[in-house]
Amino acid sequence: MANEVKTIGVLTSGGDAPGMNAAIRAVVRTAIAKGLEVKGIRRGYAGLLNEEIFDMDYRSVSDIIQRGGTILYTARCEEFKHLKVQERAAEILRKHGIDSLVVIGGDGSYRGAEALTRQGINTIGIPGTIDLDINCTDYTIGFDTAVNTAMEAIDRVRDTSTSHERCSIIEVMGRSAGYIALWCGLANGAEDVLLPERYDNNEQEIINRIIDHRNKGKAHHIIINAEGIGHSASMAKRIEASTGIETRATILGYMQRGGTPTCKDRVYASIMGAKAVELLLAGERNCAICYRDGKYEAVPFEKVVNGSKDIPEDQYRIFQILSGYR
């Protein structure tokens, strides 16, 4: 039988994402408003195993909604995949009186939460990753901020690329997910996007398009490359050698993961944080909050982590039309 909800723990895990602080704040303040105790856990599952657990009150989350990163710090913890370690973690939670846990992270973090449910802890997940690569949800905390940051940076690179009549390869984050690349492709009016979900390694096709565009008088050619494709610098050298057009690579890197969260990330993260507490109190466990078709809903972890998420075909098709593919 599921435990009664009296004391909620909250942690952030995996890659950080702007807006995580808004979610933490909402978990803490909603829990307090409902008469519950709330404890913060620093450094994800690694910190849990080290008992980095502390009491939180209304003021613990003052002045954080506007900050990027996570006040709870985050970590990756390989050993958490082992049953014995999960059993120890559940014991630690019980020792600190924590019956319920809110995990803010990606689907790896959800697997850790699912494991803790098997050990008798009530768990609920909040989607936190700039990559937007969590199944069953159209929103993850941090994507909106990251994609806006990348978009602004790419506009700047585009200016100088046009002045010098160069080709630019701009690498954005997304090890196995092309959402940031695709959205920037649409928002920045790029000529090509290379997505882990779609790229077929046909570099010759890109080269042909660059030459074709140049012959038609285009001053620049912007290629947005998702991190998962990689090799931006060597690709730039090969393209320059084949086309005779100066080509530069820019890797945007971690600047995309930090910074002031957008209004959307603050608001959606706040709603998800509050709903996490409300759903636990309503008896939901072992599930993640998802945002779909304009609604927030609880979806079992099992369904979220075992499904796969592809980029929307219509967005990719429209990108291709607008960037002059035939």
The residues that touch ligand ADP, with contacts defined as CB under 6 A, are 13-15, 45, 76-77, 80-81, 105-109, 111-112, 115, 129
Name the token pair of 99. 């019956």
Q: Which tokens hold the place of 274? A: 């509050």
Residue with smaller CB distance to ligand ADP, 210 or 226:
226
CB contact set of 169 (below 8 Å; sequence gap of 6+): 223, 225, 232, 235, 236, 239, 247, 248, 249, 250
Place of tokens 């319920």: 100
Residue span 110-129 as binding mask against ligand F6P, x where in contact by CB under 6 A, dash where not: -------------------x
Q: Is 144 in the site for ligand F6P (CB under 6 A)?
A: no
130 binds ligand F6P (CB under 6 A): yes
The CA-based diameter of the chain, rounded to the nearest angstrom, is 70
CB contact at 8 A, 271 and 294:
no
Which listed range, 23-31, 160-168, 173-181, 202-210, lies at the site for ligand F6P (CB under 6 A)? 173-181
> Which of ligand F6P, ligand ADP, none binds 223 (CB below 5-8 Å, type-dependent)?
none
How far is it, in rounded angstroms, from Cα 266 to Cα 18? 8
Number of helical (H) and strand (E) elements in the chain, helices listed first: 11, 11
Task: Select the residue whose beta carbon is closest to ligand F6P and give its number.
Answer: 15
Residues sharing a CB contact under 8 Å with residue 137, sequence separation 6 or more, in sequence order = 127, 288, 289, 290, 291, 292, 299, 304
Number of residues that bind ligand F6P (CB under 6 A): 9
**107 interface partner picked from ligand ADP, ligand F6P, none, CB below 5 to 8 A per type:** ligand ADP
The contact mask relative to ligand F6P for 247-266 (x = CB under 6 A, - = no) is ----------x---------
Catalytic residue among 107, 131, 133, 265: 131
Residue 173 within binding range of ligand F6P, rule CB under 6 A: yes
> From the list ligand F6P, ligand ADP, none, which binds 111 (C-beta under 5 to 8 Å, kind-based)?
ligand ADP
Strands (E), the chain: 7-12, 37-41, 53-55, 100-105, 122-127, 167-172, 192-194, 221-226, 247-251, 287-292, 295-300
Name the binder of 173 from ligand ADP, ligand F6P, none, CB < 5-8 A by kind: ligand F6P
Cα(103)–Cα(121) distance, integer angstroms? 12
Residue 40, binding choice from ligand F6P, ligand ADP, none, Cβ under 5 to 8 Å by partner class: none
Going by the DSSP 8-state scheme, the letter that residue 141 receives in this structure is B
Single residue of 7, 9, 11, 15 touching ligand F6P by CB under 6 A: 15
Active site residue 99: no
For residues 188 and 1, what is the distance between their CA atoms, to the nearest angstrom?
A: 52
| Closest to ligand F6P by CB, 131 or 191 | 131
Residue 43 as a binder of ligand F6P (CB under 6 A): the answer is: no
Least distance in angstroms from the C-beta of 268 to ligand ADP: 17
Q: Which residue is nearest to ligand ADP (CB)?
A: 108
CA–CA separation, 164 and 94 (whole Å)? 62
Interface positions with ligand F6P (CB under 6 A): 15, 129-131, 173-175, 227, 257
Instruction: Return the active site residues.
Output: 131
